[in-house]
Amino acid sequence: MELIKNIKFEHKGKISVCLSDGRIIIVPLSYFPTIKKLSSIQRKKWQILDGVGFTFEDTDELFHLSRVFNGVNAPCC
């Protein structure tokens, strides 16, 4: 089972989710409107939930790893 180890915003307009098996999944923030609306300071205040989800201090929304994987398969812009 993949577990989330880290979340980064190194690429403009994208979120990178680093997994325990070494993979890094990068998807556009357009797939996550709630995260896209957060400021860069707010995006630094994330926390991992049970290794399979994450959230941010300034939002009530929970994001599951399956949504990240679905974003990879979503049609591009």
Residues 36, 5: Cα–Cα separation, whole Å:
21
CATH number of the domain encompassing residue 55: 3.30.2020.40
> What range defines the domain where residue 33 resides?
4-73
Per the structure, the count of domains in the chain is: 1
Other beta carbons less than 10 A from residue 7's beta carbon: 19
pLDDT at residue 73 is higher than 80: no
Residues 13, 29: Cα–Cα separation, whole Å:
6
State what percent of residues in the chain have pLDDT above 90: 82
pLDDT 10s digits, 23-45: 999 999 999 999 999 999 999 99
Residues 7, 18: Cα–Cα separation, whole Å:
6
Identify the band that residue 72 occupies on the pLDDT scale cut at 50, 70 and 90.
low
Q: The whole model's pTM is what?
A: 0.85
